[in-house]
């Protein structure tokens, strides 16, 4: 068996094109241009790359993008004052604070300060609660992208057993809620889980969100399973260069899985596309409020 490769790059292109159409429809019917404000504190190189990408793609779909690049020693008071200002700005429909924040800033307090209607990352407690109670708040972008990817190969997933390896608040937990809402039977695994390989082997849907290169082996995968690999890990090669790999041993898994996302080119591109979709949704809701 050779698994279907689920392309996040292709699906993200499609979603971005749909968002661009939605933006121009919103502009022509209401005069509103969706605006995303991106806040970056400090100079973490990886965060700078993510933020540049987000700004570029926001503008490419016709949205307004503002960015706020703050010094690493910015105080909590100054950051919260900026969030207040963005909450009050009617031209801003989505607010994204790039994580991680420098150690002296408490991410939770900053996220809770964002108006939940503008929390397009879906991290505010109100949106988290909404997801777990099947409400209509914003869903975190990476798990939302994973669900879209999964639905390209199988629409009806009710009753399937999903095993999610990783229980972070940005990937594992919201992924579990999304799959539960789709009537999957969900198991969440983490670093204390026992007999992980055997557990993974029971999964019809296996989501890897660990951050350990190629940890999940082909022997852990149930034949025909759908595998979503969220991990992004940079590993050194023998020639001194580096390359990105996921949490799954992709090449070996291809022979066992029914469908699998690659890294790069899997959930990664879908994350930003879902951020744009959430921002359009925020602007649409505010325009009709």
Distance of closest approach, residue 141 Cβ to ligand NDP, in angstroms: 7
Q: Which helix H or strand E contains 40, and what residues bound it?
A: strand 35-41
What is residue 281's three-state secondary structure?
Answer: helix
HSE, side-chain direction, 13 A CA sphere, residue 124: 21
Residue 54 is a catalytic residue: yes
Q: How many CB atoms lie within 10 A of CB 224?
A: 12
Kindly list the residues in this chain that would bind ligand NDP in the complex (CB under 6 A).
142, 165-168, 170-172, 189-193, 196, 209-212, 230-233, 267-268, 271
* Among 118, 119, 121, 249, the one annotated catalytic: 121
Residue 98 is a catalytic residue: yes
Return the number of the residue (124 or 167) whose C-beta is nearest ligand NDP.
167
Return the number of the residue (41 or 196) whose C-beta is nearest ligand NDP.
196
What's CA 43's distance to the chain center, in Å? 22
Return the number of the residue (92 or 196) whose C-beta is nearest ligand NDP.
196
Tokens at 85, concatenated: 């200002």
Distance of closest approach, residue 208 Cβ to ligand NDP, in angstroms: 8
Distance of closest approach, residue 26 Cβ to ligand NDP, in angstroms: 26
**Cα 164 from Cα 200, distance rounded (Å):** 9
* Among 98, 119, 204, 214, the one annotated catalytic: 98
* Among 54, 118, 214, 247, the one annotated catalytic: 54
**Cα 20 from Cα 283, distance rounded (Å):** 13
Residue 249 is a catalytic residue: no
Residue number closest to ligand NDP, CB atom = 168
Return the number of the residue (92 or 163) whose C-beta is nearest ligand NDP.
163
**Cα 3 from Cα 223, distance rounded (Å):** 10
**Cα 210 from Cα 72, distance rounded (Å):** 27
Edge-to-edge strand list for the sheet holding 64-70? 64-70, 35-41, 94-97
Distance of closest approach, residue 267 Cβ to ligand NDP, in angstroms: 4
Tokens at 168, concatenated: 């972070």
Return the number of the residue (279 or 284) whose C-beta is nearest ligand NDP.
279
Distance of closest approach, residue 12 Cβ to ligand NDP, in angstroms: 11
**Residue partners of 99: CB distance under 8 A and separation at least 6:** 47, 107, 170
Q: Which residues are known catalytic residues?
A: 54, 98, 121
């Amino acid at each position: 068996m050779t698994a279907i490769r689920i392309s996040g790059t292709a699906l993200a292109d499609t979603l971005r094109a749909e968002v661009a159409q939605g933006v121009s429809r919103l502009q022509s019917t209401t005069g509103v241009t969706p605006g995303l404000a991106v806040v970056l504190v400090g100079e973490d190189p990886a965060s700078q790359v993510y933020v540049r990408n987000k700004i570029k793609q926001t503008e490419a779909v016709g949205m307004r993008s503002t960015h706020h690049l703050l010094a690493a020693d910015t105080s909590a008071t100054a950051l919260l004052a900026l969030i207040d200002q963005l909450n009050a700005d009617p031209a801003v429909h989505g607010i994204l604070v790039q994580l991680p924040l420098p150690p002296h800033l408490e991410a939770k307090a900053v996220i809770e300060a964002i108006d939940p209607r503008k929390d397009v990352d879906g991290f505010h407690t109100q949106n988290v609660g909404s997801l777990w109670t099947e409400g209509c708040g914003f869903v975190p972008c990476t798990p939302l992208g994973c669900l879209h990817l999964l639905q390209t190969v199988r629409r009806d997933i009710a009753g399937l057993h999903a095993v999610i390896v990783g229980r972070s608040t940005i990937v594992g937990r919201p992924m579990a809620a999304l799959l539960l809402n789709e009537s999957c039977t969900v198991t969440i695994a983490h670093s204390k889980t026992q007999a992980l390989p055997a557990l993974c082997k029971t999964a019809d849907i296996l989501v890897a969100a660990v951050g350990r290169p190629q940890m999940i082996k082909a022997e852990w995968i149930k034949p025909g399973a759908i595998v979503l690999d969220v991990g992004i890990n940079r590993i050194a090669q023998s020639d001194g260069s580096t390359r990105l790999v996921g949490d799954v041993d992709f090449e070996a898994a291809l022979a066992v899985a029914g469908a699998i996302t690659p890294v790069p080119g899997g959930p990664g591109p879908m994350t930003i596309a879902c951020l744009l979709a959430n921002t359009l949704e925020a602007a649409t809701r505010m325009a009709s409020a």
